[in-house]
A and B are shown apart, each in its own frame.
Chain A
Amino acid sequence: MSSITPSSDDEIAGNHWGAAFDGIKDALRLPAWVVAAALIGVGPLAQAVGHPIGAAMASTVFVWAGPAQVLFYGGLGAGMAYPALAFVIGLSSMRFLPMTMTIMQMLRRPKQSILTQFAIAHFVTVTVWAECLRRLPDMREVDRVPYFFGFGITCLVLSTFTTAFGYVLAGAVPTHFAAGLLFLTPVFFTCSICAGARDMPDWLAIGMGAVLEPLALHVAGPEFDLLVTGLVGGTVAFMIKMNRRRTTGTLR
């Protein structure tokens, strides 16, 4: 975590690099390797549809969302029409709206330009979101943005190389390891979301999300199941949290 001990609060320039370096260190401790390993799987998919290695790497840089990249190359391979594919990818990436909003709440500063905020938003992924949600609140506000960029850029750069690695390696990985690579995303999502859970409503949101999804799939179909799951599960957990807060408030 942030190990910087500033001699004075005015030394903001020096702290930028210290906080950014902490972000790089924390990312390299585990999260960056997990995202990077999960993105190995995008390489072979791009190779299978005959796209160049540079395009596979660029997809990690510009899309920066594993499931969307898998959908893209998988959909092209399956011969999906372009507009339909864009639509499906758009729906699958809807999670970035609530995720980015929570990150923005913690990272925005007075007089911060909208371009800086767009740059921040680009680095949001589940890994970055879950880890930063846990770590940013304990940090001083001036340190948060450099820390976030250090963390996010490390994850992205490492993953761009592993995407290329997967492209070159395509087909050479035994089945059980290929399955293991694809399992990294769900297992890491599970642990990082749970690591951020602080009280009963948090656990409730997680549990409801997991339980509601199959039901929502049945009721709302494969395009809107996650939207329904998030809205219903999240709103119920939020209402319970508000209710608890009110009750404890009146007890006081």
Chain B
Amino acid sequence: MIEMLAPYALMLVIAAVPTGIWRAGAVVLSRSISSQSLVFEWVRFVATALLAGVVAKLLANPSGALALAPDWGRLGAVVAAFAAFMAFRRSVFAGVLTGETILILSVYFTQP
């Protein structure tokens, strides 16, 4: 019985709690700040820059099967995704579709 529950307990303690504390912490912090406060505007910029950093990190240090894509494939795919996104009047769908197509082709044609 205990062994059966171990994967669940590990997941909760090692993954869910370290992730959840940031969400819960944000709730507690927000309660003491006025909605009109400039803090929220600053925080939004921090989140935006941080997320762009997450993308750069995922592309520069890919894990698993994504690491099999050539560097030009990953960079080219995200640049093409952005170009398509802008070209089609900020269409997220066009961006994702274009990026995915280029990335999948880059792996398909470089893998032996």
Contacts and interface: CB of A to CB of B under 8 A. Distances in A.
Interface of A: 30, 34, 41, 51-52, 54-55, 58-59, 62-65, 67-72, 74, 76, 82, 85-87, 89-90, 93-102, 104-105, 108, 114, 117-118, 120-122, 124, 126, 129, 133, 175-196, 201-202, 205-214, 216-217, 225-227, 229-235, 237-238, 241-242
Contact of B46 (A67, A179, A230): A230
Nearest to A194: B85
Nearest to A229: B53
A68 B15 contact: yes
A160 to B, nearest CB: 13
Q: Which 5 A-B pairs have the closest CB atoms?
A: A209-B52, A230-B50, A233-B49, A234-B46, A100-B26
Given A183-B100, A241-B45, A189 B54 contact: yes
B53 A118 contact: no
Contacts of B19: 63-65, 68, 89-90, 93, 96
B26 to A, nearest CB: 3
B52 A178 contact: no
B51 A101 contact: no
A195 B89 CA distance: 10
Contact of B53 (A30, A185, A233): A233
Contacts of A242: 38
B92 A230 contact: no
Given A195-B92, A238-B45, A97 B51 contact: no
Nearest to A49: B7
Nearest to A46: B7
A7 B3 CA distance: 57
Given A82-B10, A101-B40, A179-B65, A191 B85 contact: yes
B52 A208 contact: yes
